[in-house]
């Protein structure tokens, strides 16, 4: 547990709450049900209003390079008039960066009203981090687009399909984490205005606006990656069709030659041409002429 005093505001940050942390919060008159929920992560985001504080649970997507996708990381907020308590489960980079800014005094001039302003700038930093992660997805999609349409290397086609699937998974996990926030932030606006007063309306409206901008960008990337996958599948399908076409034409050309060879190898008393002078070259010439005629026919029909 670490505590930071900013003017008349107090920010307490708890990472992976232990028994002594819960005991400390118990002295601040938080409801036992809330304290029990803080002992472990909560799958469902929510916001609840009590007599002297608001209790909110939010999840934020954090990209994990080893897993190549975004994992949902939880932050619990206990919000009183002049204090903000954050409880998180694991390292959350944007929150730690914001703590360091506040501790150095870089952000202290911004908090001039109540814990609502601290909450606002905190959520703003978390949304900015989401924008940064979406920028990372944007770069991946742009590089992927060039590879799909410009660098069709047959050796990397399977890897390309895998990379498209990895990006789709990342976007899916990102969306799954952010989707419930829209309702929660709308509820926070209503409860926050009741708790802090009308002066906080711009704070909560701006928070919702940031969330919607993140969601719109993410939705756009979802449509883009789906279109890229469809385009790549179409290109692979066309390539497969061309290969199957060539194989079919090759089989059609070889079949009559195989039949002709089988006829001349029959064990009968009389076989035309067989036994004549240069009979091998005559039969071979017939096969070559047949092959050339079939190729000419296929070209005339524009099958080749």
Instruction: Read off the pLDDT of residues 167-178 as tens digits, 9 standing for 90 and up.
Output: 999 999 999 888
- Please tell me the total count of domains within the chain: 1
d(CA 82, CA 12): 11
Q: Cα angle at 53 between 50 and 58, to 5 degrees? A: 95
Average pLDDT, the chain: 84
Residue 300 has pLDDT above 80, yes or no: no
Residue 302 lies in a domain: no
- pLDDT value at position 32? 87
Q: Residues 8, 117: contact at Cβ < 8 Å?
A: no
Residue 185 has pLDDT above 60, yes or no: yes
- Lowest model confidence (mean pLDDT) among 49-53, 67-71, 111-115: 111-115
Residue 57 has pLDDT above 90, yes or no: yes
Residue 272 lies in a domain: no
- pLDDT value at position 76? 92
Residue 42 has pLDDT above 90, yes or no: no
Q: Cα angle at 65 between 157 and 133, to 5 degrees? A: 95
Residue 298 lies in a domain: no
Residue 253 lies in a domain: no
Residue 173 lies in a domain: yes
pLDDT class of 56 with cuts at 50, 70, 90 = very high
Tokens 């390309």 -> residue: 160
- pLDDT value at position 303? 67
Instruction: Read off the pLDDT of residues 70-99 as tens digits, 9 standing for 90 and up.
Output: 888 999 999 988 889 999 988 888 888 888
Residue 192's CATH number: 3.30.460.20
Show the tokens assigned to 163: 């990379």
Task: For the chain, give the percent of residues with pLDDT over 70.
Answer: 92
Residue 27 has pLDDT above 60, yes or no: yes
Residue 207 lies in a domain: yes
pLDDT class of 109 with cuts at 50, 70, 90 = low
Q: Which residue segment(s) compose the domain that 174 sits in?
A: 2-238
- pLDDT value at position 262? 75
- pLDDT value at position 153? 66
Helices H, strands E: what count in the chain? 8, 6
Most confident segment among 79-88, 103-112, 156-165: 79-88
Residue 282 lies in a domain: no
Instruction: Read off the pLDDT of residues 230-267 as tens digits, 9 standing for 90 and up.
Output: 888 888 888 888 888 788 777 777 877 787 777 677 76
d(CA 251, CA 258): 10
Task: For the chain, give the percent of residues with pLDDT over 90.
Answer: 11
pLDDT class of 213 with cuts at 50, 70, 90 = very high
pLDDT class of 100 with cuts at 50, 70, 90 = confident
Tokens 């008393």 -> residue: 269
Note the pTM of the prediction, 2 decimals. 0.75
- pLDDT value at position 55? 92
| Mean pLDDT confidence for 11-26 | 88
What burial letters (b/e) apply to 54-82, b meaning 16+ CB within 10 Å?
Answer: bbbbbbbbbbeeeeebbebbbbbbbbbee
- pLDDT value at position 152? 64
Residue 94 lies in a domain: yes
């Amino acid at each position: 547990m670490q505590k930071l005093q900013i003017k008349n505001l107090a920010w307490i940050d708890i990472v992976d709450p232990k028994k002594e942390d819960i005991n400390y919060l118990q002295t601040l008159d938080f409801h036992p049900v809330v304290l029990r929920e803080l002992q472990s992560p909560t799958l469902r985001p929510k916001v609840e209003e009590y007599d002297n504080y608001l209790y909110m649970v939010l999840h934020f997507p954090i990209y994990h390079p080893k897993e190549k996708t975004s994992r949902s990381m939880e932050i619990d907020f206990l919000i009183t008039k002049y204090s903000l308590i954050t409880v998180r489960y694991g390292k959350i980079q944007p929150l730690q960066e914001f703590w360091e800014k506040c501790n150095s005094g870089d952000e202290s001039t911004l908090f001039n009203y109540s814990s609502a302003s601290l909450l606002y700038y905190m959520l703003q930093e978390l949304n900015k981090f989401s924008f940064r992660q979406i920028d990372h997805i944007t770069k991946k999609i742009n590089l992927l687009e060039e590879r799909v349409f410009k660098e069709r290397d047959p050796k990397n086609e399977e890897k390309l399909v895998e990379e498209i699937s990895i990006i789709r998974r990342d976007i899916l996990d990102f969306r799954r984490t952010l989707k419930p926030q829209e309702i929660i932030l709308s509820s926070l606006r209503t409860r926050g205005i009741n708790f802090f007063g009308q002066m906080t309306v711009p704070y909560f409206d701006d928070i919702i606006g940031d969330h919607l901008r993140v969601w719109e960008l993410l939705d756009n990337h979802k449509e883009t990656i789906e279109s890229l996958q469809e385009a790549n599948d179409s290109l692979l399908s066309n390539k497969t069709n061309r290969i199957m076409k060539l194989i079919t034409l090759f089989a059609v050309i070889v079949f009559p030659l195989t039949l002709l060879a089988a006829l001349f190898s029959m064990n009968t008393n009389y076989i035309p041409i067989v036994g004549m002078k240069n009979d091998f070259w005559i039969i071979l010439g017939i096969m070559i002429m047949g092959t050339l005629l079939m190729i000419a026919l296929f070209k005339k029909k524009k099958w080749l």
